[in-house]
């Protein structure tokens, strides 16, 4: 099984939570750009230091930096063999175009894009309850503003390519997972 999936959705909508389950179920590597940047920060690299400051403010790391990180990851043999769950990338139109270009060059197109739909009030509550370093009220506000301006347009971008499915992200994690799985399985069986 080499599922290639993009998971979209507001910050705090449960993308990472669902990806942990999807990895177990479908056996594809989880490529979370947020996790990659946080790991770089913990390693104390120059990239991690710069990215950490940007993340704490709730801003986006520049597109060219993200292209480099993700392209390198997508070229790894585990992705070629098992596919990929892309979480947090793409999140700007430029990143979407770059992803399309890279996957086309690799000859491995996407199977599906899922938009996990959760209202602003609910995601805000979830993030405040989680309390990650960038889950301050100010940074959450900026992240959600960036989402509306730069990431929400990707819903249409994936729709135009007949890849998009919207999944209700409200409810228990198990219920959401069952909805996500139903979409993926239908897509993989060509329905
Ligand atoms: P990133 O790590 O991607 O953070 P984010 O976008 O803020 O998304 P989250 O991880 O908060 O949300 P999630 O949807 O994964 O929710 P989760 O499952 O954790 O990015 C961090 C930063 O890195 C960015 O701000 C940016 O600076 C930089 N960055 C990353 N990618 C970039 C890119 N491509 N370009 C530029 N910059 C980039 O769930 C949230 C909470 O809700 C958890 O506590 C969870 O337990 C809970 N929860 C989950 N599901 C449910 C449910 N069904 N019911 C109730 N609670 C639930």
From the alpha carbon of 129, which atom of ligand 1 is closest?
44
With the most atoms of ligand 1 within 8 angstroms of its CB, the residue from 6, 10, 17 to mutate is 17
Write out the catalytic residue numbers: 15, 91, 130, 132, 143
For residue 60, what is the DSSP state?
P
Q: How far is the CA of 107 from the centre of ligand 1 (A)?
A: 29
Q: What is the DSSP string of 22-45?
A: HHHHH-PPEEEHHHHHHHHHHHT-
From the alpha carbon of 17, which atom of ligand 1 is closest?
18
Tell me, what's the pLDDT at 39? Answer: 97
pLDDT digits (tens, 9 = 90+) for 39-91: 999 999 999 999 999 999 999 999 999 999 999 999 999 999 999 999 999 99
The residues spanned by each domain of the chain are: 3-188
For the chain, 191 residues long, give each residue's pLDDT as a single digit of tens.
799 999 999 999 999 999 999 999 999 999 999 999 999 999 999 999 999 999 999 999 999 999 999 999 999 999 999 999 999 999 999 999 999 999 999 999 999 999 999 999 999 999 999 999 999 999 999 999 999 999 999 999 999 999 999 999 999 999 999 999 999 999 999 87
Are 167 and 176 a contacting pair, CB within 8 Å? yes
**pTM, full prediction:** 0.97
From the alpha carbon of 57, which atom of ligand 1 is closest?
27
Burial class (CB in 10 A: 0-12, 13-18, 19+), 166: middle
Q: How far is the CA of 161 from the centre of ligand 1 (A)?
A: 25
Tell me, what's the pLDDT at 56? Answer: 96
What is the three-class DSSP state of 55? helix
CATH code for residues 3-188:
3.40.50.300
With the most atoms of ligand 1 within 8 angstroms of its CB, the residue from 11, 38, 58 to mutate is 11
What percent of the chain stands above pLDDT 70?
A: 99
């Amino acid at each position: 099984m080499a599922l290639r999936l993009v998971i979209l959705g507001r910050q705090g909508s449960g993308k990472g939570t669902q990806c942990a389950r999807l990895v177990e179920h479908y056996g594809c590597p989880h490529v979370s750009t947020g996790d990659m940047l946080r790991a770089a920060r913990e390693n104390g690299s120059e990239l991690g230091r710069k990215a950490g400051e940007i993340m704490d403010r709730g801003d986006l790391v520049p597109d060219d930096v993200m292209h480099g990180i993700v392209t390198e990851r997508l070229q790894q043999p585990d992705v070629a063999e098992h596919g990929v769950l892309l979480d947090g990338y793409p999140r700007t139109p430029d990143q979407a175009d770059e992803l399309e270009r890279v996957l086309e060059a690799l000859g491995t197109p996407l199977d599906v894009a899922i938009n996990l739909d959760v209202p602003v009030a609910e995601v805000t509550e979830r993030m405040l309850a989680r309390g990650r370093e960038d889950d301050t009220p100010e940074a959450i506000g900026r992240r959600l503003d960036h989402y509306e301006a730069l990431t929400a347009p990707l819903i249409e971008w994936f729709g135009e390519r007949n890849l998009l499915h919207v999944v209700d992200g409200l409810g228990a994690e198990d219920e959401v997972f069952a909805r996500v799985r139903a979409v993926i399985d239908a897509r993989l069986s060509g329905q």
